[in-house]
Structure 1
Amino acid sequence: MKVLSHIPSWLKNKYLITGVAFLVWIFFFDPKDIPSSINRIDTYNKLQKSEQHLTKLIAETTKDLNLLKTNPRTIEKYARENYMMKKDNEDLFIVKSPSESK
Structure 2
Amino acid sequence: MLQKFLHYGRNFYVATGLGLLAWMTFFDANDLPTQIRNWWKVHELDRDARFYQERIKTIQTERQEILGNDQLREKFAREKYLMKRPEEDVFVIVDEKNEPLEK
**Normalising by structure 1, what TM-score?**
0.66
Taking the aligned partners of 2:97 and 2:77, their CA distance within structure 1 comes to: 23
Comparing both chains, which one has the higher relative contact order based on Cα–Cα distances under 8 Å and sequence gaps of 6 or more? Answer: 2
Identity value in percent: 28
Contact 2:26 2:32 in 1 (8 A): yes
Unaligned runs of 5+ in 1: 1-9
List structure 1 segments (4+ residues) > 3 angstroms apart after TM superposition: 86-91, 93-99
* Closer/same/farther in 2, CA of residues 45 and 32 from structure 1, 3 Å limit: same
Residue-pair matches, total: 88
Decide whether the 8 Å contact of 2:78 with 2:84 is kept in 1: yes
**Considering only aligned residues, what root-mean-square deviation do their CA atoms show, in Å?**
2.9
Equivalent position of 2:58 in the other structure: 60
Gaps of 5+ in 2: 1-7, 99-103
Shift of the 65–93 alpha-carbon distance from structure 1 to 2, 3 Å rule, reads closer
Map Cα deviations across residues 26-81 of structure 1 (whole Å, 9 max, x no partner).
10123332111111110111111111111111101111221222111211221122
Alignment-derived partner of residue 34 in structure 2: 36
The change in CA–CA distance for 1:80 and 1:31 in structure 2 (over 3 A counts) is same
